Amino acid sequence: MKVFNWGRSSALIVGLAGLLLLSMTMVAVYSSIELARFARIEGRRTVIVYAAGQTLAPGVHVRLIDLARTLLRLGYVETRILAAAPGQFRRTTDAWTIFPRDGKGLIGLEIRGERIARLTRDGIDVESAVLEGEVLTGVGDATGEDYRPIQLAGVAADQYVVGLDSSNLVL
């Protein structure tokens, strides 16, 4: 009967197999740690959603688009005198004056009923004007908040943004 002799070549094979097993285990542990860290970072990342600026044009219903609240959300300040600095607006029953931050000139709105009848930029008639866009949701809105609901009346029909994730439909 022949006894198997564990020689140097057998010891080398067992050592290499152990080294291979150890390196595969190390790769698996490293991958698990990095994937867990990545998942934590992704869980804290917030998606920022922007809305296009509100379009102002003759025929737009000022109360339905809630222009005053839109301007306040954008950081504009209402004044009792003529708007004289960027970020100010003034409203009366028949006219609005908005001094936008874009530097393109004073926006004048002539109101009839509750609709814009005439639109001017620095006294010159124009077809439309667009306010700056706004962030609908993003970093610091509220803890654990995925989105901030908005009134659809505050968004022009051609400016709807539809987003779809795995469980929600967001307009």
Put residue 28 in one of left, alpha, beta given phi > 0 → left and psi -120 to 50 → alpha.
alpha
pLDDT tens for residues 104-152?
889 999 999 889 999 999 989 999 998 888 777 655 555 444 545 555 5
CA distance 27 to 92: 70
Upper half-sphere CA count for residue 52 (Cβ side, 13 Å): 13
Nearest to 115 by CA among 53, 154, 67, 52: 67
pTM of the model: 0.55
Q: State whether residue 113 is helix, strand or coil.
A: coil
pLDDT tens for residues 75-102?
899 998 887 888 899 999 899 999 988 8
Strands 95-99 and 88-91: antiparallel
CA distance 68 to 104: 20
The amino acid sitting at 112 is: R
Residue 146 has a CB neighbour count (10 Å cut-off) of 13
